[in-house]
Structure 1
Amino acid sequence: MKWSEFSIHTTQEAVEPISNILHEAGASGVVIEDIADLVKERSTVLGEIYQLDPTDYPEEGVIVKAYLPVNSFLGETVDGIKASINSLLLYDIDLGKNHVTISEVNEEEWATAWKKYYHPVKISEKFTIVPTWEIYEPVSSDELIIELDPGMAFGTGTHPTTVLCIQALERTVQKDDKVIDVGTGSGVLSIAAGLLGANQIQALDLDQVAVESARLNCKLNKVQNVVNVSQNNLLDGIEGPVDLVVSNILAEIIVRFIDKAYEVLKENGTFITSGIIQNKKNEVKEALQNAGFVIEETMVMEDWVAFIAKKK
C-alpha cells in the first residue's frame, strides 16, 4: 500500500492544533521534529531519553509530518488540511513558515519511520509510556506502564500537554473516583486514570476514529472494564456528578465548556485542563475563575500550561 507523507514547517505554538487537524483528516499519526529538542536541557530524574540525531531536525521551527493513504480522495483531503491549517490564523496562532511538502512512501518505510521516533519514556514519578513493540522491564514495583501504538491515533503520550495532564492525574486521582476525559484522542489520559484506581471513566471524543482508537488502547492496557469510550461533542448531554474532569485540547475549546464542567463536578471536584499555550494562559485562567473554580496549581512545561482547579 502507498502512503503520502504530508509535511508542514511551522511553529511550536501550532503543533497541537495542526496535529489535531491531521488526525481529523484521517492521519494515522504525527511525527514532530522540533529543533528546540536538540538544545534544551533535560532532567534525568525520571529516566532518559535517547540520543537525538541533528540531521532529523529543521534548522529552525518545527516540522510536523503525517501519513495519509494514497487514494482517489487524497487531493481533496490535502486541500482541506491546508485550508484548516490556514484558518488557525483566525485564532492568532503563529504558523511560522507554513511551508507544506508532500511525498510518497510505501507501507514498510512508513512503519519504520514510526519506530525511529518512538521509544519508552518515563514521564512522571509512576508512569512510563512504552510502544507495543518494545520489551521493557519496570525499574520499580510501583511503576505504571501505558502501552501505546502510534499507528492507532495521533500522539504518543509524550507531548508536554499530555505529560502535564498525566502528572496532574497522578496527584489528584483517588481510588474509585468517577472521571470524565473530554477529547480523549488515543485514550491515554483515561488509561492513566484507570491505572491510578478510578473505577468509572467516561472517555469522550467527537471523532469516531479517535473513539475506536481509544477503545483499542484501553483493551491493550486492560482498563476496558472501567473506561467507557463514546462519541460526544465536549460535555453536551453529559450528567454528573463526577469527581474529576480532565481535558487536553485547545484553549479556545476549553473555555467553551468550563461552565458545564463546573456543573457536572461534585463539590470539591477537580478540573484538570491542558493544551494551553502560554499566550492563552490568562484567558483560560480568567474563564475558570469566572465559572467559580479556584485554581490550586499552575503547571508549566516548555511553552505549555496546565491548571488544576477545584469546585469550591
Structure 2
Amino acid sequence: MKWTEISIHTTQEAVEPVSNILHEAGASGVVIEDPSDLVKSWDTSLGEIYQLNPDDYPEEGVIIKAYLSVTSFLGETVEEIKEAINSLLLYDIDLGYNTVTISEVNEEEWATAWKKYYKPVKISEKVTITPTWEEYEPVSTDELIIELDPGMAFGTGTHPTTVMCIQALEKTVHSGGYVLDIGTGSGVLSIAAAKLGAKKVDAFDLDEVAVKSAILNVKLNKEQEKVTVKQNNLLDHVEAQADVVVANLLSEIIIRFAGDVPRVLKPGGFFITSGIIQGKKQEVKQELITQGFSIEETLEMEDWVAFIARNNG
C-alpha cells in the first residue's frame, strides 16, 4: 500500500490543535520535530538517552508529520486539513510559516519512521510512559507504568501540557476518589488517575476517534473497571460530584466552560487545567477566579502553563 506523508511547518503553540486536525482526518499518528528537543535537559534516570539528529529538525518552528493512505479522496482530504488549520487563526493561534508539503512513502517507511522518536519517559515522581513495543522494567517498587501506542492515539503522552496534568493529578488524586477527564484524547490522564488510586474515572471527548483510542488504551493498561470513556461535548448533560476535574484543552475552550465546572465538582475539589499558552495565562487565571476558584498552584513547562484550582463553592 502507498502512503502520503503530509508535513506542516508551524509553531509549538499550534502543535496540539494541528495534531488533532490530522487525527480527525484519518492519520494513525503524528511525528513532531521540535528543535527545542535538541537542547532540552532530558531525564537520565531511565538510563541512556537516545541520540537526536539535528538534521531531522527545522532551524525554527515545529514540523508536524502524519501519514495518510493514498485514495481517490486524498486531494480533498488535504484541502480540508489546510482549511481546518487556517481556521485556527480565528482563535489567535500563531501558525508560523504554516506551509504544507506532501510526499509519497512506502508502507515499510510509514510503519517505522515515527517509532524512533518514542522511548520510555519518566514524567513525574511516580509515572513513566512507555510505548507498547519497548521492553521496560520499573526502577522502583512504587513506579506506575502507562503503556501507549501512539499509532492509535493522540500523541505520545509526553507533551508538556500532558506532563503537567499528570504531575497535578499526582498531587490531587486520593485513594477512592472520583475524577472527570474532559477532552480525554488518548485517555492517558484517565489511566494515570486510575493508577494513582482513583476509584472511578469518567472520560469524555467529542471526537469519536479519540473515544475509540482512549477505550483501547484503557484496556491495554487494564483499567477498564475504573475508567469509563464516552462521547460527549465538555460537561453537557453530565451530573456528578467529582473530587477532581482535569481538562487539557485550548485556552479558549477552558474559558468557555469554566463556569460549568463548579456544578460537577465537590466544594474543596480541584480543577486541573492545561493546554494554556503563556499569552493566555492571565486571561484563564482571571476567569477561574471569577468562577469562584482559588489558584492553589501554577505549573509551567517550556511555553505552557497549567493551573491547580480549588473550588470554593
TM-score by length of 1: 0.97
Give the Å deviation of 1:49. Answer: 3.8
Matched, 1:54 2:54: yes
Give the Å deviation of 1:254. Answer: 1.0
Q: Which whole-Å CA distance do the structure 2 matches of 1:281 and 1:40 have between them? A: 23
Q: Which whole-Å CA distance do the structure 2 matches of 1:179 and 1:47 have between them? A: 33
- Aligned with 2:97: secondary structure? coil
- Aligned with 1:14: secondary structure? helix
In the TM superposition, what are the counterparts of 1:272-311 in structure 2 within 5 Å? 272-311=272-311
Give the Å deviation of 1:107. Answer: 2.4
What letter is aligned with 2:31?
V
Give the fraction of aligned pairs with identical amino acids, expressed as a percent. 74
Give the Å deviation of 1:10. Answer: 0.9
In the TM superposition, what are the counterparts of 1:156-305 in structure 2 within 5 Å? 156-305=156-305
Q: Which whole-Å CA distance do the structure 2 matches of 1:154 and 1:8 have between them? A: 17
In the TM superposition, what are the counterparts of 1:113-152 in structure 2 within 5 Å? 113-152=113-152
- Report Cα offsets for 1:96-123 as digits up to 9, x if no partner: 1111101122222112112111111111
Q: Which whole-Å CA distance do the structure 1 matches of 2:47 and 2:191 have between them? A: 21
Could you tell which deviates more after superposition, 87-96 or 123-132? Answer: 87-96
Could you tell which deviates more after superposition, 205-214 or 100-109? Answer: 100-109
Q: Which whole-Å CA distance do the structure 2 matches of 1:139 and 1:170 have between them? A: 18
Matched, 1:38 2:38: yes
Give the Å deviation of 1:9. Answer: 0.6
Could you tell which deviates more after superposition, 103-112 or 58-67? Answer: 103-112
For the Cα contact (< 8 Å) 2:165–2:274, is it kept in 1?
yes
- Aligned with 2:171: secondary structure? helix
For the Cα contact (< 8 Å) 1:295–1:309, is it kept in 2?
yes
What letter is aligned with 2:56?
D
For the Cα contact (< 8 Å) 2:272–2:308, is it kept in 1?
yes
Q: Which whole-Å CA distance do the structure 2 matches of 1:51 and 1:144 have between them? A: 26
For the Cα contact (< 8 Å) 1:49–1:121, is it kept in 2?
no
- Aligned with 1:181: secondary structure? strand
Give the Å deviation of 1:39. Answer: 2.1
Partner of 1:67: 67
For the Cα contact (< 8 Å) 2:148–2:156, is it kept in 1?
yes
- Report Cα offsets for 1:42-101 as digits up to 9, x if no partner: 454676642211111112111011111221221111111101111111222111111110
Q: Which whole-Å CA distance do the structure 1 matches of 2:212 and 2:163 have between them? A: 22
5+ residue gaps in structure 1? none
What letter is aligned with 2:285?
K
- Aligned with 2:17: secondary structure? helix
Q: Which whole-Å CA distance do the structure 1 matches of 2:99 and 2:48 have between them? A: 32
Could you tell which deviates more after superposition, 140-149 or 6-15? Answer: 6-15
Q: Which whole-Å CA distance do the structure 2 matches of 1:191 and 1:16 have between them? A: 20
Q: Which whole-Å CA distance do the structure 1 matches of 2:143 and 2:239 have between them? A: 33
- Aligned with 2:113: secondary structure? helix
Could you tell which deviates more after superposition, 18-27 or 190-199? Answer: 18-27
Partner of 2:8: 8
- Report Cα offsets for 1:17-64 as digits up to 9, x if no partner: 111211222211111101121123345467664221111111211101
What letter is aligned with 1:266?
K
5+ residue gaps in structure 2? none
- Aligned with 2:215: secondary structure? helix
Could you tell which deviates more after superposition, 43-52 or 113-122? Answer: 43-52
Partner of 1:97: 97
Q: RMSD of the alignment, in Å?
A: 1.3
- Aligned with 1:7: secondary structure? strand
Q: Given the superposition, is the C-alpha separation of residues 2 and 154 from structure 1 closer, same or farther in structure 2, using an over 3 Å criterion?
A: farther
Q: Which whole-Å CA distance do the structure 2 matches of 1:176 and 1:114 have between them? A: 38
- Aligned with 2:184: secondary structure? coil
